[in-house]
Amino acid sequence: MKNTAVIILAAGKGTRMKSATAKVLHCIREKPMIQYVTNTAVRLAGSDVIVVVGTQADQVKAVVSEVYPDVRFAFQKEQLGTGHAVLCAIPELCDNIEHVLILCGDVPFLKLSTLTKLIDAHIWQKNIITLVGSVIDNPRGYGRLIIDPQNRVSRIVEEADATADEKTIKLINTGIYCVHRRSLETMIRQVRPDNTQNEIYLTDIIEIASKQGAGIGMVKCEDSNEILGINTIHDLEKAESVLMTHEKP
């Protein structure tokens, strides 16, 4: 898609994997999970793909570049949150880019059709931010989407900061966003690490945009396998079974 770039967040350690190997280097059916995400991103944006690396950066870069030589990289020296990771990638965006799609390196099965639908809705509705949401039976561990009386997304509450009532919400944030490029640059610099993790949350741009009265759209993903995030060895095993029983996305 013209004037659209993709940022893939792939710098984290993945401590819950209990492995010395960086999370995105773990394999699903003998293929590193970062390659699944990069494949979809390249099909969407061509050479306008930036992978944010940090933990085992050289290894991640090598695994990506081996298959996708035109992909660029941004280095996140310290893992200070998803918002900080995006900040590290912004200088790599080309001048012609108007919209930025943000993906997670540990969510390997998102389909091209879903992301195309997201970007189309974002541009057609003239939103500042459009995100992928999903309703799941067990939302534990996910950020919850808070909907205002006008049925718009007003903010995202991370699990660690959620109240008991907020934790009952089943509409979750998948971590996938399309954001107007200039607005992203402005909003991300306004985010402060005022949370229990002392990190710069990318999710905080939702509340910033909402307070400014900006358009915030949402596209729902109905297939829970598509938004499966890999955080533990159990998740990795589940991903293996998904590929065994479903056609590769």
DSSP 8-state assignment for residue 190: T
155 given a catalytic annotation: no
φ and ψ of 9, to 5 deg = -85, 115
Q: Are 54 and 79 in contact (CB under 8 A)?
A: yes
Element (H, E) at 8: strand 4-9
What is the rounded CA–CA span in Å between residue 112 and residue 96?
A: 22
HEC profile for 58-104? HHHHHHHHHHCCCCEEEECCCCCCHHHHHHHHHHHCCCCCCEEEEEE
Among 16, 140, 155, 189, the one annotated catalytic: 16
Q: Residue 89: how many CB atoms within 10 A of its CB?
A: 24
Radius of gyration of the chain (CA): 17
CA angle 52–89–3, rounded 5-degree value: 115
Active site residues: 16
